[in-house]
Amino acid sequence: MSKGRTEQFTAQVGGCTTNYAVTWAVREGASGGTIAPDEEYKDSRVALYTAPAAAGGPYHVVAASVDDPSVTGSATVQVMAEGFYLTGDMS
């Protein structure tokens, strides 16, 4: 994705849980961009990722179940000077 661009991410929690809430993080910390719940949706499963101002990566956006933090999903993000290239989905 382009440096500085913001994209929406969505996580789905399956299994035996009754709490579908997730927490979000960028594995590489602030150098890999920021992610926070999208306040418009009032649902922690929808978040906005903002890429860092410089090209780089790969960076990893991680969603973890609130009920069981060992249950996670991640997406890999490569930040480019310009453009957007989808490399996969959260799995």
Q: Is the pLDDT of residue 8 over 80?
A: yes
CB atoms within 10 A of CB 58: 13
CB atoms within 10 A of CB 88: 8
Q: What is the pLDDT of residue 81?
A: 85
pLDDT tens track for 13-54: 877 667 888 999 999 999 999 999 998 887 889 999 999 999
Q: What is the pLDDT of residue 57?
A: 93
DSSP 64-85: EESS-TT-EEEEEEEEBSS---
Q: What is the pLDDT of residue 52?
A: 96
Q: Tell me the pLDDT of the chain averaged across its residues.
A: 88
Query: Averaged over 61-69, what is the pLDDT?
Result: 92
